[in-house]
Structure 1
Amino acid sequence: MLASLAGFLGDLDRAEEAAQDAFAVAAARWPADGVPDHPRAWLVTTARNRAIDRIRRERTLAEKIHLLPAPEATMDEVDDTVIKDERLELIFTCCHPALALEAQVALTLRALGGLETAEIARAFLVSEETMKRRLTRAKAKIRAASIPFAVPDERLLPDRLDAVLAIIYLIYNEGYSGRVDLGAEAIRLGRVLAGLLAGRPEVHGLLALMLIHQARQRARFDGDDLVLLADQDRSLWDGALLAAGRAALDRAVELGGDGPYVLQAAIASLQTRERVDWPRVAGLYRRLVELTGSSVVELNGAVAVAEAGDPAAALRAVDRLDLDDYLYFHSTRGELLRRLGRDDEAAAAYRRALGLATTTPERRFLTRRLEEL
């Protein structure tokens, strides 16, 4: 809805207001009148008309009303599926190079992923207030620069690709943490993008990465309990998704891909093998660190080093990182310290992680670890 309205109105703030208006009307009317035959079309139509009414009431009516494509939207004009790829259009709009990369990603997560400002702030490891200011500045820049709501010409797509890939993956990660609807939407967008930019290996790498992770989704939780990779019931894995992910990875490699998403997909694929080659996984992580310079990637690489048989070296690598506000930094330290028999320090690390946990499965897992210690 938001993507459709943003394209119609040319303004993200107006689009958000119109969407909220439409849902408020639906909440009031549908319980009494019943759900319409085409609820999505009804919502988009209502939102458009509410937006038009709002603009008409404003003092700048004379300057703005002539910019709207029609005086009123009707149900006949709105397809129930909306426009197939308008969400991708919104991504490319928010990823205009006039905006800073972090602002591009944050704005699209807010507009397209439906994430709260606090959730986006956690993804960027910054405060909610800092993220709020970034979003406000990004929206203002879109208005000031009159950035169009459309997929740009093909020759301009590569300039925005890094941000688009980052956005899709962050949306997927939010879904993978439990909001499955967002995970499925990210994969849909990844498939659309793979068709749009079929010659780009990183696009196929990202799609492969999401599909391989998604194949294990059902096995990751047992009720409210988080199940680690080594303990997962492989019969619950989705074989078709896993095969599709490996095929996408093969395609990325055929295209000469060796970028961050291709490497991550290769790591994910290795971790689904019956016997995981942990030294090879650790080697891929070292290459990934060289490419990204990411402390989170270094943390994951340390886990691979520990699984390969050297938890002491892994702990030394982890202790060099500056990730004190990151949940998985402390849970990883706790696990490494536990393996090394340093139980008191492990318990302290797990307690710190528990203080940062935001989901029930995370809290239950960390509580169990503390009880075991």
Structure 2
Amino acid sequence: MSANAVELERVSKRYVLGESHGGYNTLRDAISASVRRSIRGTAPRTEIWSLDAVSLEVERGSALGVIGRNGAGKSTLLKIVTRITEPTLGTSRTRGKVGALLEVGTGFHLELTGRENVYLNGAILGMRRREVDRRFDEIIDFSGVSRFLDTPMKRYSSGMYLRLAFAVAAHLDASIIVVDEVLAVGDLEFQRRCLGKMESLEQEGRTVIFVSHNLEAIRRLCDTSVWLDRGRIRAAGATADVVTAYLAEVVGERADVTYEDDADLPVSLRRASLLDRHGRSTSAVPRDEGFSVQLQLTVRESVVGLDCSVFLQNLEGLRVVEETLSALEGRTTRLRAPGVYAARVDFPPALASGDYIVGCWLGTSTETFVYVDDALRVRLVGASKGRSTPLVELGAPWHLVEGEAP
């Protein structure tokens, strides 16, 4: 038996823009499509290669991280591994039963209760009823939605929806677990529980393939990783080396970024800016002067307990510091009434010189509305004060007196 759970040999995947892959449900659909073709004519075919000659092997019982920018081909790779789609070229082999969480909540029916949806979603993910019966209490305990188990899921918050979906997917009797970006949503405590569950699955000898923009989570969970860039593997090997190479590539001048305002969210990020001590936009700052990160937010509906945080990670993917708005007063802030807000955090001159990635989070204790791990980049210029180069220099006060210590 092969030691590999997954093998891809020069796999490529092509999509044709504008091409319809579905049939017609009614005569009206067929007539409408015919009329559109007669009016528009035949549009030129635009081909997109989402993956281009990708080869990789994933050993049984290992955890592989997959990183890269949006549109790099990460989700397509997982869909091929899970046999949701077939490669256009090349060969893909997956040995073992696959449990996948690619689109959170797939198989859930909003009119059904949480209890009914556990059985429905379990069946779609390959579980027999007696398997669900055996694991039901464990699934519900992990999800934390026991109080709402007999409530229709249309009344669930997005965080509750996610927790139940992950709980079902994570408790499959699968030898290969494939997870796509589950840590980008949900509350922070649930994110930690998800990561802990995936670690335990690996310790049980399961194979884990994990796609995430959370590089700290990738470093914690995965011994090996691949970096996808425009459908090709840019780097593969030890996770620390791959993450370092990826961050070195993405670091550049990025001091002021405007984001598309998502009207579907109760809270959205409009703009992120890096400012020097004079309030000027910059991406390079003397390390002994400090700097500020400013976020412009839109709040569309009242959100109790709304909070935001800004964090910095170095080029090894290590989160060096994180500051949370609610910590300003030691309690949840009053950032919750509808309107436009500007939130600014001032970082003192305590960090070592070098390049840092700035990320941000907006949410509550139970839900995440915005998570951007690569919002801005900052380069701190200048030598450190001491003989070594620590990550943080707090400037703690010293006291020197002559004579014996009291």
Give the TM-score, by structure 1 length.
0.29
Give the TM-score, by structure 2 length.
0.27
